[in-house]
Structure 1
Amino acid sequence: MSTLIEPALLEILACPACHCPLREDAEASELVCTDPACALAYPVRDHIPVLLIDEARKAA
């Protein structure tokens, strides 16, 4: 399985909107908030997470 970002970095990242942990969605090249009420998906471009609420989309 291919990772989008380094596992150590993923451990310390949090959703900017609700501060819950993020999980990788490698197929969509996104980091997705683990809080079902928030569920924002942030794009990862060139292995760099774009953690801007304005750039996020609501995950399905």
Structure 2
Amino acid sequence: MPINTDELLRILACPKCLGSLAAMVENNTAAGFACAACQVIYPIREDIPVMLVEEAVDMPTWNAQHPQAKERA
């Protein structure tokens, strides 16, 4: 079952800075949660957000690997 990103964004925070997150969408599916302050993306794998600092992907690497991913407004 796809995750409800709106609900998750209300309760999740960046594990590193405790800041807010934004959903990254690729092909109409949530692909990760972005922290603008830390400049990282926490990926979603098999419909499970991986909210571990050591699993975060820096934004330049993410953008190279996911060129169609956009921040959901």
Task: Name the TM-score, length of structure 2 as normaliser.
Answer: 0.65
AA paired with 1:49? P
Give the aligned partner of residue 12 of structure 1. 11
For residues 16-55 of structure 1, the C-alpha deviation after alignment (integer angstroms, 9 at most, x for no partner) is 01111111111281110032xx111111012210001111
Structure 1 segment 7-46 matched on structure 2, within 5 A: 7-27=6-26, 29-35=31-37, 38-46=38-46
Give the Cα separation in 1 of the matches to 2:25 and 2:55: 17
**Percent identical residues:** 42
What count of residue pairs does the alignment treat as equivalent?
55
Question: Cα RMSD (Å) of the superposition?
Answer: 1.7
- Could you tell me which runs of 5 or more consecutive residues in structure 2 were left unpaired when the two chains were aligned: 61-73
Show structure 1 runs of 4+ deviating over 4 A: none
Whichever of the two has the greater Rg, that structure is 2
Going by fraction, where is helix more abundant, 1 or 2? 2
- Could you tell me which runs of 5 or more consecutive residues in structure 1 were left unpaired when the two chains were aligned: none
How far apart are residue 58 of structure 1 and its match? 1.1
